[in-house]
Amino acid sequence: MNNTQTRSSDSRKKISGSTIKIIAIITMLIGIAASAILDRMLMKNGLADVANNTEAYQAFMESNGTLFIADFVMQLIGGLALPLFCFLLTEGFMHTSSLKKYAIGLAVVAVVSEVPFDLVYSGSIWNPYRQNPVFSLLIGLGILVLMEKAEVSLAQSSPWKLSSSKLLIAVAACVISVVLNVDSGIFAALMILVLYMFRKRQVFGMALACFLTSMTSQLFGFITFLDILPVLFYNGERGIRKKYIFYAVYPAALILFYLIVLLTGLGDVSLT
């Protein structure tokens, strides 16, 4: 889809799409670092053994409190990434010159990232019970394609028929997300759907997307409301045109962090 839209002339809006992408990538890297390294350090130091023992937990926190807080804060920051990537996917869908190439690029990233993702988050080469979040974005792209087709083909139909079709698409996407065990569950699909429905009111759409995130965790949801800020100052421009570099960042980061895990002797630490 390649829609031509009027760009905002508001001088306050100085953030391009590539800037939002860089923000999303930085927060994502911080979250991966916490999950790959700090989580393993805490588990190695005995976190799993003190979960049901108050005295042991207090003793653990006395010696590992700083590490625990650092991990917690970094996980919070990492939680900012997904809503931004959902927003960028919606923008990419509306402005891409080749939907086919866009979908293929996303699919390649999802497939290439799967083994490194499983190694980082599960410690195994293959974990059928948890698929990387790029698959969530791919499902979201499918939602947008079907939504657009429904809007075009049912434009002259009754409103209830169009609404029913959209509801069926949303339900199907949620079912697929659950069946495939994608990392973000149904929430990435729902966020993408909301952001597309309110594409002409982007700040409001992001606020609703953040509210959806708050349904999984009140604290994480509260933090993700910070994602409204880059959208508020988004100027509608694409920015840096280096999409293949951006595509490579996620799998490369997963591989890099897992290598760090191995080099620091944390490869044998169980995360369960």
Whether 223 is covered by a domain: the verdict is yes
Q: Is residue 166 part of a domain?
A: yes
Classify residue 72: in a domain, yes or no. yes
* Residue 2 falls inside a structural domain: no
Residue 84 in domain: yes
| Nearest partner of 209 among 26, 59, 81, judged by Cα | 81
Tell me if 269 is assigned to some domain: no
pLDDT (tens digit per residue) in 49-84 = 887 788 888 899 999 999 999 999 999 999 999 999
Is 116 part of a structural domain of the chain?
yes
Does residue 178 sit within a domain? Answer: yes
**CA nearest 190: which of 213, 220, 164?**
213
Structural domain of residue 125, as residue ranges?
Answer: 17-263
Query: Sign of the C-alpha dihedral, residues 21, 121, 44, 52?
Result: positive
pTM above 0.85, yes or no: yes
Query: What total number of domains does the chain contain?
Result: 1
Quote the crossing angle between the two packed helices 134-153 and 81-95, to the nearest 10°: 40
* Crossing angle (nearest 10°) for helices 17-33 and 54-78: 160
Q: Tens of pLDDT along 114-168? A: 999 999 999 999 998 999 999 999 999 999 999 999 888 887 778 888 889 989 9
Question: What is residue 7's predicted lDDT score, i.e. its pLDDT?
Answer: 43
